[in-house]
C-alpha cells in the first residue's frame, strides 16, 4: 500500500496542489477572496450550469440507448459478438480529440451530413450529446451487461412460476439486482461527461464550455491562474462527491446475488421479438459507432485527387510547414513506447494497490482506510488532465524531482489514468479467489508464497493481461496531460492529431484523419486481443 500512496502523493497530489497554490497564493498569503469573486461571476455560473446539465443529459441518453445493448450482449449469443464488443469499446479508449474530429467530419461544415442532407449540428448541443453517447456506450454495456450476463436466469424463472408476468418478473427481480450497477454506470458516465474536454473543445465552438475547457482556456490562453485554480478546485469537489456516490453504489452491489458463469446464460435469440431487439441494437451500434469511425477512415483516404493513401504516405516524411521537426510517423513509435512503459508502471502500482485492497480490513478503521484508498485511486479519472499536466510542468521541474527534461515524465502521467483501470480489473478477480483454494494448497505442502504462485497467479494472469491491455489503450489515447509535457520533438499520436487539426488546410486535415485512423486501428487490435483473453466479461466500472 505504501508504494501506490507515495506514487499518488508525488505524481498526483503534489502537482495538483502546486498549481492550485500557484493560483491562489502570493508568497506568504492566501487569496481566498478570489474564490468568492470567481464563483459569483455570471459567466462562470453559466459554465457550471452547462457542465451539469449536459452531463445529466448525456448520462440519460447513454443509459437509454445503451441499456438495450447491455441486455443483448448479456443474454444473446450471436456470431461476431466478440468482435462487436471490441468495436463498441474502441470509442471509449479513443482520444477525445479524435472523437471530436470524427463527429466534426460527420456533422460539421462540409461533413458527411452536410454534403448529403444539408444538416449541420456541429455548434449545437446535439453533436456533443451524440459524441458523449458514442464514447460512453461501452461503459454501460460492460458494467451493466457484465453483471447481467452472470445473473442467474432461474431467479426470474422462479418469479414467473410464482405468478409474475414477464415484465413484472423483470421489474421485481432483475431490475433491483441490476439497479446498483446501473447507478454505478450512470455515475461514471456523468463523471466522464462532467469533465469532458476534447469533445467540447472540438465540437462546442465558442458557445459551449465545460469547467475543464474553461480551466484550459484560463490556463493556456488567458494565463489567468487564479481563476483556473478556483475552477479546478470546484471541479475537484464535484468529482469527489461523485466518486463517493459511486463507491457507495458499488459497495451495495456486493450484496449477494445469485451468479452463474456468463456462458450459461447467453443463448440464440428465439422469438421474433428477440430477433427484432437484436437487429435494433445492431442498427444503433452501426449508426452511432460504426458510422463515425467509418467517416474517420473515409476522410483519411479522401484527397483532392480521389481516394488514396497520400495522407498516410505523407506521415512518413518530415513536413515543410514546420508543424513537426520529425516525421509524424515517428509519433507512432513514441506513442507505442510511452504507452508500453506507462502500462508497466500502471501494472506495478495498480497491482500493488489491488493486492492491498484485497486484504480484508481487520477493524472498522482499516476498512474505512481501504475504502478511502479505493476512491483515491479513481480520482485521476475525474480530475482535470489539463491541471495534472500543467501541474507536472510547474511542480516537477526542480531537484530533487526534475523530471521535466526526461522522457519518463510522459509515461508517468499516462500511467495515472491507467492505474484506475488496472485496479478495477484486477480487484474483482483477486477478491474472488477462494481462500480455501490457498488452504488446500497449504495442506498439500505449499508454502504461502508457493500457494500464491500456484493458485492466485494462474487465476489472476488473465486479469493482468486484460488490465495491461486497458492501461495500454488508455495511455495511448491520453491527451489532456500529455499535450503539456510531451517534448516538441517527441509528440505522441493524439498530440500529433491535435496539432494537425489546429492548422488549416486540406492536407493537415487529411493527415490528422490518417493519424486518427492509425490510432483507432491500434486501439481496436489491442481490444480484440483482450476479447480473446477475456472469458468473463465482468470488468468493474
Partner 1 sequence: MLRLDGVTVSFGGVRALDAVDLEVADHETVCVLGPSGSGKSTLLRVVAGLQQPDAGRVWLAGWDRTHVPPHKRGVGLMFQDHQLFPQRDVEGNVAFGLRMRHAARAESAERVTELLEMVGLPSAHRRAVATLSGGEQQRVALARALAPQPDLLMLDEPLGQLDRVLRERLVVELRALFDRLGSTVLAVTHDQGEAFVLADRVVVMNEGRIAQAGTPLEVWQKPASEFVARFLGFDNIVEATVHGDSADTPWGKIPVPEGTQAGPCKLLVRPTGLRTTSVEDGLPCTVEARTFRGGDAAAVTLLLQPRHGPRLEASCALREAPEAGTSIGVAFDEKEVVRIST
Q: Which residue has the cell 496542489?
A: 17
Least distance in Å: CB of 440 to partner 1? 4
For residue 441, state whether it binds partner 1 (rule: CB under 8 A): yes
For residue 394, state whether it binds partner 1 (rule: CB under 8 A): no
For partner 1, give the closer residue by CB, 32 or 444.
Answer: 444
Three-state SS at 25: strand
Q: Single out the segment in contact with partner 1 by CB under 8 A; choices: 59-67, 324-332, 454-462, 480-488.
A: 454-462
For partner 1, give the closer residue by CB, 42 or 458.
Answer: 458
The CA angle 360-365-368, to the nearest 5 degrees, is 70
Q: Single out the segment in contact with partner 1 by CB under 8 A; choices: 110-118, 161-169, 248-256, 452-460.
A: 452-460
Least distance in Å: CB of 439 to partner 1? 5
For partner 1, give the closer residue by CB, 448 or 505.
Answer: 448
Least distance in Å: CB of 376 to partner 1? 31
Is the four-CA dihedral 95, 97, 100, 101 of positive or negative sign? negative
For residue 440, state whether it binds partner 1 (rule: CB under 8 A): yes
The contacts found for 55-58 with CB under 8 angstroms, 24 or more apart, are 55/190, 55/193, 55/194, 55/196, 56/190, 57/125, 57/129, 58/128, 58/129, 58/132, 58/133, 58/136, 58/189, 58/190, 58/193
Q: Single out the segment in contact with partner 1 by CB under 8 A; choices: 52-60, 280-288, 444-452, 501-509.
A: 444-452
Residue 84, CA distances (Å) to 412, 415, 428, 525 in order: 32, 27, 24, 12
Q: Single out the segment in contact with partner 1 by CB under 8 A; choices: 118-126, 160-168, 409-417, 434-442.
A: 434-442
Q: Which residue has the cell 444473446?
A: 76
Nearest residue to 381 via CA among 410, 351, 417, 419: 417
DSSP string, 59-105: HHHHHHHHHHHHHHHHHB--TTHHHHHHHHHHHHHS-HHHHHHHHHH
Q: Single out the segment in contact with partner 1 by CB under 8 A; choices: 123-131, 204-212, 341-349, 441-449.
A: 441-449
Pairing of strands 25-26, 397-398: unpaired
Distance CA 208, CA 16 (A): 25
Are 417 and 381 spatial neighbours (Cβ–Cβ below 8 Å)? Answer: yes
Among 251, 431, 450, 532, binds partner 1 (CB under 8 A): 450
Least distance in Å: CB of 274 to partner 1? 29
For partner 1, give the closer residue by CB, 340 or 437.
Answer: 437
Least distance in Å: CB of 366 to partner 1? 17
Among 459, 465, 507, 533, binds partner 1 (CB under 8 A): 459
Residue count (the chain): 541
Distance CA 77, CA 6 (A): 45
For residue 263, state whether it binds partner 1 (rule: CB under 8 A): no
Following CA atoms 514, 489, 395, 497 in sequence, which dihedral angle do they give, to the nearest 10 degrees? Answer: -10
Least distance in Å: CB of 469 to partner 1? 20
Least distance in Å: CB of 371 to partner 1? 22
For partner 1, give the closer residue by CB, 284 or 437.
Answer: 437
276 contacts: CB under 8 Å, gap ≥ 6 = none
Following CA atoms 115, 118, 119, 121 in sequence, which dihedral angle do they give, to the nearest 10 degrees? Answer: 70
Least distance in Å: CB of 368 to partner 1? 20
Among 446, 465, 529, 533, binds partner 1 (CB under 8 A): 446
Among 152, 224, 454, 536, binds partner 1 (CB under 8 A): 454
For residue 447, state whether it binds partner 1 (rule: CB under 8 A): yes
Least distance in Å: CB of 456 to partner 1? 10
* DSSP state letter for 306: S
For partner 1, give the closer residue by CB, 28 or 445.
Answer: 445
In the complex, the residues that contact partner 1 under the rule CB under 8 A are 434, 436-437, 439-448, 450-451, 454-455, 458-459
Amino acid at each position: 500500500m505504501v508504494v501506490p500512496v507515495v506514487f499518488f502523493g508525488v505524481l498526483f497530489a503534489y502537482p495538483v496542489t502546486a498549481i492550485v497554490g500557484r493560483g491562489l497564493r502570493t508568497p506568504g498569503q492566501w487569496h481566498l477572496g478570489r474564490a468568492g469573486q470567481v464563483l459569483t461571476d455570471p459567466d462562470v455560473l453559466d459554465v457550471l450550469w452547462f457542465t451539469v446539465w449536459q452531463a445529466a443529459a448525456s448520462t440519460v441518453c447513454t443509459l437509454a440507448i445503451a441499456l438495450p445493448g447491455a441486455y443483448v450482449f448479456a443474454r444473446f449469443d450471436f456470431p461476431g459478438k466478440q468482435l462487436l464488443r471490441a468495436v463498441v469499446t474502441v470509442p471509449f479508449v479513443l482520444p477525445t480529440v479524435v472523437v471530436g474530429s470524427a463527429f466534426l467530419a460527420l456533422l460539421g461544415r462540409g461533413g458527411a451530413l452536410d454534403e448529403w442532407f444539408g444538416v449541420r449540428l456541429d455548434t449545437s448541443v446535439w453533436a456533443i450529446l451524440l459524441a458523449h453517447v458514442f464514447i460512453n456506450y461501452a461503459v454501460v454495456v460492460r458494467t451493466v451487461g457484465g453483471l447481467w450476463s452472470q445473473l442467474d436466469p432461474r431467479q426470474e424463472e422462479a418469479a414467473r412460476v410464482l405468478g409474475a408476468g414477464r415484465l413484472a418478473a423483470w421489474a421485481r427481480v432483475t431490475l433491483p439486482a441490476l439497479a446498483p450497477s446501473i447507478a454505478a454506470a450512470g455515475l461514471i458516465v456523468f463523471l466522464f461527461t462532467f469533465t469532458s474536454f476534447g469533445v467540447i473543445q472540438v465540437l462546442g465552438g465558442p458557445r459551449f464550455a465545460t469547467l475543464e475547457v474553461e480551466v484550459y482556456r484560463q490556463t493556456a490562453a488567458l494565463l489567468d491562474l487564479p481563476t483556473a485554480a478556483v475552477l479546478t478546485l470546484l471541479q475537484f469537489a464535484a468529482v469527489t462527491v461523485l466518486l463517493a456516490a459511486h463507491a457507495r453504489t458499488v459497495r451495495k452491489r456486493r450484496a449477494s446475488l445469485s451468479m452463474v458463469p456468463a456462458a450459461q446464460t447467453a443463448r440464440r435469440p428465439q422469438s421474433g421479438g428477440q430477433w427484432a431487439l437484436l437487429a435494433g441494437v445492431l442498427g444503433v451500434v452501426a449508426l452511432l459507432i460504426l458510422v463515425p469511425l467509418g467517416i474517420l477512415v473515409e476522410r483519411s483516404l479522401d484527397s483532392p485527387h480521389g481516394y488514396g493513401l497520400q495522407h498516410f504516405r505523407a506521415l512518413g516524411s518530415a513536413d515543410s510547414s514546420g508543424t513537426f521537426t520529425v516525421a509524424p510517423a515517428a509519433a507512432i513509435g513514441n506513442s507505442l513506447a510511452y504507452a508500453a512503459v506507462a502500462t508497466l508502471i500502471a501494472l506495478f502500482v495498480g497491482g500493488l494497490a489491488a493486492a492491498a485492497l484485497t486484504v480484508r480490513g481487520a477493524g472498522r478503521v482499516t476498512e474505512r482506510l481501504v475504502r478511502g484508498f479505493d476512491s483515491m485511486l479513481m480520482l485521476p479519472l475525474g480530475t482535470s488532465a489539463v491541471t495534472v499536466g500543467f501541474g507536472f510542468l510547474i511542480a516537477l521541474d526542480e531537484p530533487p524531482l526534475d523530471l521535466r527534461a526526461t522522457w519518463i515524465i510522459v509515461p508517468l502521467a499516462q500511467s495515472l489514468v491507467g492505474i484506475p483501470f488496472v485496479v478495477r480489473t484486477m480487484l474483482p478477480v483477486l477478491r474472488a479467489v477462494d481462500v480455501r483454494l490457498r488452504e488446500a494448497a497449504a495442506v498439500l505442502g505449499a508454502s504461502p508464497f508457493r500457494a500464491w504462485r500456484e493458485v492466485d497467479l494462474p487465476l489472476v494472469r488473465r486479469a493482468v493481461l486484460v488490465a495491461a491491455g486497458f492501461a495500454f489503450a488508455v495511455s495511448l489515447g491520453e491527451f489532456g496531460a500529455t499535450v503539456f509535457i510531451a517534448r516538441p520533438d517527441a509528440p505522441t499520436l493524439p498530440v500529433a492529431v491535435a496539432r494537425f487539426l489546429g492548422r488549416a488546410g486540406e492536407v493537415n486535415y487529411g493527415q490528422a484523419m490518417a493519424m486518427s485512423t492509425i490510432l483507432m486501428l491500434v486501439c481496436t487490435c489491442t481490444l480484440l486481443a483482450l476479447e480473446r483473453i477475456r472469458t468473463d466479461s465482468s470488468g468493474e466500472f
